[in-house]
Amino acid sequence: MYFINCFFLYSILGFFLETIFSLVKGFSYESGILYGPWTPVYGFGVIVIFFFAKMLEKWKLSKFLKFLFLFLSTSIVLAIMEILGGYFIEWFFHKRFWDYSNMKFPITPYTSLEMALLWGILSLLLYSFIKPILDKVVKKIPNYLTCIFILLMFLDLLFTVIHHYKP
Protein backbone atom coordinates (compact mmCIF):
# COMPACT_ATOMS: atom_id res chain seq x y z
CA MET A 1 0.00 0.00 0.00
CA TYR A 2 3.00 2.31 0.47
CA PHE A 3 3.46 2.98 -3.25
CA ILE A 4 -0.27 3.38 -3.87
CA ASN A 5 -0.46 5.91 -1.05
CA CYS A 6 2.61 7.72 -2.44
CA PHE A 7 0.95 7.78 -5.84
CA PHE A 8 -2.19 9.45 -4.47
CA LEU A 9 -0.43 11.85 -2.12
CA TYR A 10 1.99 13.12 -4.77
CA SER A 11 -0.74 13.24 -7.45
CA ILE A 12 -2.75 15.52 -5.18
CA LEU A 13 0.27 17.62 -4.17
CA GLY A 14 1.29 17.95 -7.83
CA PHE A 15 -2.19 19.16 -8.71
CA PHE A 16 -2.17 21.81 -5.98
CA LEU A 17 1.40 22.96 -6.68
CA GLU A 18 0.67 23.30 -10.38
CA THR A 19 -2.55 25.18 -9.61
CA ILE A 20 -0.79 27.59 -7.25
CA PHE A 21 2.05 28.10 -9.75
CA SER A 22 -0.37 28.92 -12.55
CA LEU A 23 -2.30 31.36 -10.33
CA VAL A 24 0.90 33.12 -9.30
CA LYS A 25 2.09 33.29 -12.92
CA GLY A 26 -1.36 34.43 -14.04
CA PHE A 27 -2.00 32.04 -16.89
CA SER A 28 -4.89 29.83 -17.83
CA TYR A 29 -4.35 26.25 -16.93
CA GLU A 30 -5.76 22.76 -16.69
CA SER A 31 -3.85 20.16 -14.67
CA GLY A 32 -4.27 16.95 -16.56
CA ILE A 33 -7.32 15.23 -17.92
CA LEU A 34 -9.19 14.23 -14.76
CA TYR A 35 -11.75 16.27 -12.84
CA GLY A 36 -10.60 15.42 -9.32
CA PRO A 37 -7.92 17.29 -7.40
CA TRP A 38 -5.12 15.07 -8.66
CA THR A 39 -2.78 14.82 -11.57
CA PRO A 40 -1.69 11.17 -11.84
CA VAL A 41 1.43 11.88 -13.89
CA TYR A 42 3.00 13.37 -10.75
CA GLY A 43 2.17 10.23 -8.80
CA PHE A 44 3.67 8.02 -11.52
CA GLY A 45 6.70 10.31 -11.73
CA VAL A 46 7.35 10.03 -8.01
CA ILE A 47 7.10 6.24 -8.18
CA VAL A 48 9.72 6.31 -10.97
CA ILE A 49 11.99 8.48 -8.83
CA PHE A 50 11.59 6.14 -5.86
CA PHE A 51 12.29 3.12 -8.09
CA PHE A 52 15.57 4.56 -9.36
CA ALA A 53 16.59 5.72 -5.88
CA LYS A 54 15.85 2.27 -4.41
CA MET A 55 17.88 0.65 -7.17
CA LEU A 56 20.78 3.00 -6.42
CA GLU A 57 20.78 2.08 -2.74
CA LYS A 58 21.97 -1.39 -3.75
CA TRP A 59 24.93 -0.08 -5.73
CA LYS A 60 28.22 0.65 -4.05
CA LEU A 61 28.76 4.12 -5.41
CA SER A 62 29.72 7.40 -3.84
CA LYS A 63 26.89 9.70 -2.82
CA PHE A 64 27.85 12.04 -5.66
CA LEU A 65 27.59 9.27 -8.28
CA LYS A 66 24.24 8.13 -6.87
CA PHE A 67 22.91 11.69 -7.10
CA LEU A 68 24.31 12.06 -10.60
CA PHE A 69 22.71 8.81 -11.75
CA LEU A 70 19.40 9.72 -10.10
CA PHE A 71 19.50 13.15 -11.76
CA LEU A 72 20.29 11.77 -15.24
CA SER A 73 17.94 8.78 -15.12
CA THR A 74 14.96 10.74 -13.83
CA SER A 75 15.61 13.62 -16.24
CA ILE A 76 15.43 11.21 -19.16
CA VAL A 77 12.60 8.95 -17.97
CA LEU A 78 10.35 11.78 -16.75
CA ALA A 79 10.89 13.69 -20.01
CA ILE A 80 9.88 10.55 -21.92
CA MET A 81 6.79 10.20 -19.69
CA GLU A 82 5.90 13.83 -20.43
CA ILE A 83 6.26 13.24 -24.17
CA LEU A 84 4.20 10.04 -24.16
CA GLY A 85 1.54 11.62 -21.93
CA GLY A 86 1.28 14.66 -24.17
CA TYR A 87 0.90 12.64 -27.36
CA PHE A 88 -1.58 10.27 -25.70
CA ILE A 89 -3.78 13.13 -24.48
CA GLU A 90 -3.66 14.78 -27.90
CA TRP A 91 -4.50 11.51 -29.66
CA PHE A 92 -7.21 10.31 -27.26
CA PHE A 93 -8.82 13.57 -26.12
CA HIS A 94 -7.81 15.88 -28.97
CA LYS A 95 -6.44 18.39 -26.45
CA ARG A 96 -3.04 19.91 -25.86
CA PHE A 97 -2.52 20.85 -22.23
CA TRP A 98 1.04 22.08 -22.58
CA ASP A 99 3.41 23.11 -25.34
CA TYR A 100 7.13 23.73 -24.91
CA SER A 101 7.76 24.66 -28.55
CA ASN A 102 8.55 28.23 -27.56
CA MET A 103 11.29 27.26 -25.11
CA LYS A 104 14.94 27.69 -26.01
CA PHE A 105 15.68 23.95 -26.36
CA PRO A 106 12.46 22.09 -27.26
CA ILE A 107 12.75 18.35 -27.79
CA THR A 108 9.12 17.88 -28.85
CA PRO A 109 6.09 20.09 -28.23
CA TYR A 110 5.69 18.18 -24.97
CA THR A 111 9.11 18.56 -23.40
CA SER A 112 12.31 20.50 -23.63
CA LEU A 113 15.84 20.23 -22.34
CA GLU A 114 15.00 22.87 -19.74
CA MET A 115 12.07 20.83 -18.42
CA ALA A 116 14.06 17.58 -18.43
CA LEU A 117 16.77 19.24 -16.34
CA LEU A 118 14.14 20.71 -14.03
CA TRP A 119 12.64 17.23 -13.50
CA GLY A 120 16.10 15.94 -12.58
CA ILE A 121 16.69 18.73 -10.07
CA LEU A 122 13.22 18.32 -8.57
CA SER A 123 13.83 14.57 -8.29
CA LEU A 124 16.91 15.18 -6.17
CA LEU A 125 15.08 17.68 -3.96
CA LEU A 126 12.09 15.38 -3.61
CA TYR A 127 14.12 12.34 -2.66
CA SER A 128 16.53 14.16 -0.36
CA PHE A 129 14.21 16.54 1.48
CA ILE A 130 10.51 16.02 0.80
CA LYS A 131 10.25 12.22 0.88
CA PRO A 132 11.63 11.84 4.43
CA ILE A 133 9.03 14.29 5.72
CA LEU A 134 6.04 12.96 3.75
CA ASP A 135 6.90 9.31 4.40
CA LYS A 136 5.59 9.86 7.93
CA VAL A 137 2.23 10.90 6.46
CA VAL A 138 2.16 8.13 3.84
CA LYS A 139 2.74 5.41 6.41
CA LYS A 140 -0.21 6.64 8.51
CA ILE A 141 -2.80 6.54 5.72
CA PRO A 142 -5.32 3.81 6.61
CA ASN A 143 -6.10 1.10 4.05
CA TYR A 144 -9.78 2.02 3.88
CA LEU A 145 -8.86 5.57 2.82
CA THR A 146 -6.57 4.18 0.11
CA CYS A 147 -9.46 2.04 -1.18
CA ILE A 148 -11.72 5.10 -1.25
CA PHE A 149 -9.12 7.03 -3.27
CA ILE A 150 -8.77 4.12 -5.70
CA LEU A 151 -12.55 4.03 -6.21
CA LEU A 152 -12.80 7.81 -6.63
CA MET A 153 -9.97 7.96 -9.15
CA PHE A 154 -11.44 5.02 -11.08
CA LEU A 155 -14.82 6.78 -11.24
CA ASP A 156 -13.12 10.04 -12.23
CA LEU A 157 -11.23 8.25 -15.01
CA LEU A 158 -14.39 6.50 -16.19
CA PHE A 159 -16.38 9.74 -16.24
CA THR A 160 -13.53 11.55 -18.02
CA VAL A 161 -13.31 8.93 -20.74
CA ILE A 162 -17.08 8.84 -21.25
CA HIS A 163 -17.38 12.62 -21.25
CA HIS A 164 -14.36 13.56 -23.36
CA TYR A 165 -13.60 10.64 -25.65
CA LYS A 166 -13.81 11.71 -29.28
CA PRO A 167 -13.17 8.94 -31.81
3-state helix, strand, coil split of the chain in percent (to 5) is 70, 5, 25
What pLDDT score was predicted for residue 97?
A: 81
In a domain, residue 30? The reply is no
Residue 122 domain boundaries: 2-21+36-164
In a domain, residue 99? The reply is yes
C-alpha–C-alpha distance, residues 30 and 68, integer Å: 32
113-139 confidence digits (pLDDT tens): 999 999 999 999 999 999 999 999 999
Q: Are 109 and 99 in contact (CB under 8 A)?
A: yes
C-alpha–C-alpha distance, residues 52 and 70, integer Å: 6
Identify residue 126 by its one-letter amino acid code: L
In a domain, residue 29? The reply is no
**Backbone CA torsion sign across 75, 76, 79, 85:** negative
Confidence of residue 98 (pLDDT cuts 50, 70, 90): confident
In a domain, residue 152? The reply is yes
Confidence of residue 19 (pLDDT cuts 50, 70, 90): confident
In a domain, residue 27? The reply is no
Across residues 105-114, what is the average pLDDT? 95
Taking each helix axis from N to C end, the angle separating 113-125 and 63-93, rounded to the nearest 10 degrees, works out to: 130
Structural domains counted in the chain: 1
25-45 confidence digits (pLDDT tens): 777 666 677 888 889 999 999
Distances (CA, A) of 7 to 3, 83, 117, 127, 162: 6, 20, 22, 14, 24
Identify residue 81 by its one-letter amino acid code: M
Return mean pLDDT, the chain. 91
